[in-house]
Amino acid sequence: MSSAVIESPPISPPGVFSRPYRGLSAGIVALVLLIAFEYLAVATAMPVVARALDGLPLYGLAFSGSMAASVIATVAGGRWSDVRGPVAPLWTGIGGFTVGLLIAGLAPTMHVLVLGRFVQGIGGGLFSVALYVVVAQVYPPEMHPRVFSLLATAWVLPSIVGPAITGTVVEHAGWRWVFLGIPLLVAPAAVVLWHGLTGRSATDRPQDAPQGASPQVAPQAAPQNAPHGAPSGADFRARLAWGGVVAVGAALLQYGSGLGGDGYVLLAVGLAVLAVALPRLLPRGTMRAARGFPTVVLLRGLAAGASFAADVFVPLMLTGERGLSPTFAGLFLTGSALTWSLASWIQGRRRYDRTRLLRVGTFLVAAGTAGTALLVFDSVPLAAGLVAWLATGFGIGLVYPTLSVLTLELSAPGEEGRNSSSLQIGESVFSVVAIAVTGALFAAFDTAWWVYLACFGLIVAQAALATPIAGRTGR
């Protein structure tokens, strides 16, 4: 007598807004939405702010100061989240981000505003790393693509309406409310997040919990639960010190890039400092694309750096070479944000081959940016350039969340904070290098058409380096 084995169909993962996850997902999305508004609003309003405070020489530092502080904060936040759990660094980051906005909004001078941006960077660095650890602890692995797709989608609305709202606020209420208005919205978003986290104490990791169990966050991880070989206190102090060195190098690089010929010394010093210090903050083998997580970090830096640098030059080229209005040029950025979100949504619907996603995505970033650069020639139709730029957004939308998911998959329990900090440090520094080097070239030779092509050529080369190594992200 034979017996048949009946295989039950695979259980699909619950939705991100299903009952156990609804409050936490809503709180996370609300805060990411506000951070996206803040990022786009500050970028739009900063020229007005710098002129109002007579601080144009500190214009670049207002951006690099925030980034420099975030490098240090991500190192500290990664260690803090791994050893004590993500709840404390999460709330500290939200508080620091809010205090930084208040300092900047009330700043009487540009120097005080730079201080506020520095405090913002500390808060944002702590928050972003802790957020990764919360995702790792709360949501089961099969839900991670959907979660990161949702976070990417949270940038769509700010990309569409952010610049217009900022312009209206600056014109009718004054630039200070660009900074002071967001803290008023942080409070209700924080309440939603608090309700999502309330009562989720505990120790079980999502892969250990039964299907349908309530998500749990470990507010304080026991040190003895750290993985074998986890970094010691001395190793953390060394990483924190190197994080400070990297922050200084990045600030020198970005500040020097805006000074033309007078800034070449600072540019060279900044590059030298980063060449020495950055490898000490990233996983061993990152710069040679060692298999596994080091390649994940390298891919994130190359792809994100190329995409963000292109974001700087596309509006400049459209307004300077093709004579478009800032509003129309902004539609290009809005379009790429929409295709970014679409690609993120697609990769989150089901499990795709990760290597194929990364290869297609990095190729689209390189090819789309190259096609967009051809708009420097009047004979190239604007519609063709727009299609190419939409492809760039679609490509980074495939790459970005896929690498976020791989970071958590390749992290042992207790390593999510450290690895998330490495991922974000690589992204930040590669982006600063790409923007600073192309910005220095642009500042040195002004706005000749060939300068645009040279800048875009460097950006395309950076993106193209990512495609052949996309298959090295496996263990």
DSSP per-residue letters across 35-77? HHHHHHHHHHHHHHHHHHTT-GGGHHHHHHHHHHHHHHHHHHH
- Residue 261 lies inside a defined structural domain of this protein: no
Residues 163 and 292 in one domain: no
Half-sphere exposure of 272 (CA within 13 A, CB side): 6
Look at residue 27 in the predicted model and tell me its pLDDT: 86
State the Cα–Cα distance between residues 54 and 109, nearest whole angstrom. 8
Which of 201, 225, 260 is a domain's end point? 201
State the Cα–Cα distance between residues 80 and 286, nearest whole angstrom. 23
| Model pLDDT for residues 205-262, shown as the tens digit of each residue | 444 444 444 455 555 444 434 444 445 567 778 888 888 888 888 878 777 776 666 6
Phi, psi dihedrals of residue 101, rounded to the nearest 5°: -60, -40
Residues 183 and 309 in one domain: no
Residues 176 and 294 in one domain: no
Which of 142, 170, 201 is a domain's end point? 201
- Residue 273 lies inside a defined structural domain of this protein: no
CB-based contact 60:111 (threshold 8 Å): no
State the Cα–Cα distance between residues 247 and 273, nearest whole angstrom. 10
State the Cα–Cα distance between residues 232 and 403, nearest whole angstrom. 27
For the chain, percent of residues with pLDDT exceeding 90: 19
Q: Is the confidence at residue 370, as pLDDT, over 50?
A: yes
As a whole number of Å, the end-to-end CA separation of the chain is: 45
Residues 68 and 180 in one domain: yes
Q: Give the rounded distance of the alpha carbon of 446 from its chain centre.
A: 29
- Residue 275 lies inside a defined structural domain of this protein: no
Q: Is the confidence at residue 130, as pLDDT, over 80?
A: yes
Look at residue 9 in the predicted model and tell me its pLDDT: 47
Among the ranges given (37-46, 70-79, 235-244, 286-295), the one the predictor scored with the smallest mean pLDDT: 37-46
- Residue 65 lies inside a defined structural domain of this protein: yes
Residues 292 and 414 in one domain: yes
Look at residue 221 in the predicted model and tell me its pLDDT: 45
CB-based contact 312:441 (threshold 8 Å): no
Look at residue 137 in the predicted model and tell me its pLDDT: 84
| Model pLDDT for residues 19-62, shown as the tens digit of each residue | 778 888 888 888 888 888 887 777 667 777 877 888 766 766 67
Among the ranges given (59-68, 261-270, 415-424, 460-469), the one the predictor scored with the smallest mean pLDDT: 59-68
- Residue 216 lies inside a defined structural domain of this protein: no
- Residue 79 lies inside a defined structural domain of this protein: yes
Residue type, 411: S
What residues make up the domain containing 395? 288-475
Residues 20 and 163 in one domain: yes
Look at residue 212 in the predicted model and tell me its pLDDT: 43
State the Cα–Cα distance between residues 463 and 369, nearest whole angstrom. 9
State the Cα–Cα distance between residues 417 and 425, nearest whole angstrom. 12
Q: Give the rounded distance of the alpha carbon of 210 from its chain centre.
A: 32
Look at residue 242 in the predicted model and tell me its pLDDT: 83
Q: Is the confidence at residue 390, as pLDDT, over 70?
A: yes
Return the structure tokens found at 404. Answer: 């976020």
Look at residue 214 in the predicted model and tell me its pLDDT: 45
Q: What is the chain's mean pLDDT, rounded?
A: 80
Residue 395's pLDDT band (cuts 50, 70, 90): very high
Q: Give pTM, 2 decimals.
A: 0.76
Write the DSSP symbol of residue 322: S
Look at residue 249 in the predicted model and tell me its pLDDT: 84
Q: What is the number of structural domains in the chain? A: 2
User: Is residue 436 packed enough to be buried (19+ CB in 10 Å), middle (13-18) or exposed (0-12)?
Assistant: buried
Higher pLDDT: 68 or 193? It is: 193
Look at residue 13 in the predicted model and tell me its pLDDT: 67
Helix axes 22-52, 144-153, angle to 10 degrees: 40
Helix axes 233-257, 59-84, angle to 10 degrees: 160
Among the ranges given (158-162, 364-368, 416-420), the one the predictor scored with the smallest mean pLDDT: 158-162
Residue 319's pLDDT band (cuts 50, 70, 90): confident
Q: Is the confidence at residue 3, as pLDDT, over 70?
A: no
Q: Which of 384, 24, 437, 28 is nearest to 267 (CA)?
A: 437
Which of 147, 169, 201 is a domain's end point? 201
CB-based contact 89:257 (threshold 8 Å): no
- Residue 194 lies inside a defined structural domain of this protein: yes
The DSSP line for 81-96 is HHHH-SHHHHHHHHHH
Residues 185 and 296 in one domain: no
Sign of CA dihedral 404, 408, 410, 414: positive
Look at residue 149 in the predicted model and tell me its pLDDT: 80
Over range 424-452, report the average pLDDT. Answer: 79
Residues 297 and 169 in one domain: no
Look at residue 24 in the predicted model and tell me its pLDDT: 85
Residues 196 and 292 in one domain: no
Look at residue 231 in the predicted model and tell me its pLDDT: 53
Residues 153 and 50 in one domain: yes
Q: Which helix (H) or strand (E) holds 334?
A: helix 326-349
Residue 60, domain CATH: 1.20.1250.20
Q: Is the confidence at residue 367, as pLDDT, over 80?
A: yes
Q: Which of 434, 407, 430, 424 is nearest to 72 (CA)?
A: 424
- Residue 283 lies inside a defined structural domain of this protein: no
Q: Is the confidence at residue 427, as pLDDT, over 50?
A: yes
Look at residue 232 in the predicted model and tell me its pLDDT: 58
State the Cα–Cα distance between residues 143 and 136, nearest whole angstrom. 10
Residue type, 335: G
Using only C-alpha atoms, the chain has a radius of gyration, in whole angstroms, of 22
CB atoms within 10 A of CB 321: 16
| Model pLDDT for residues 131-155, shown as the tens digit of each residue | 888 888 888 888 888 888 888 778 7
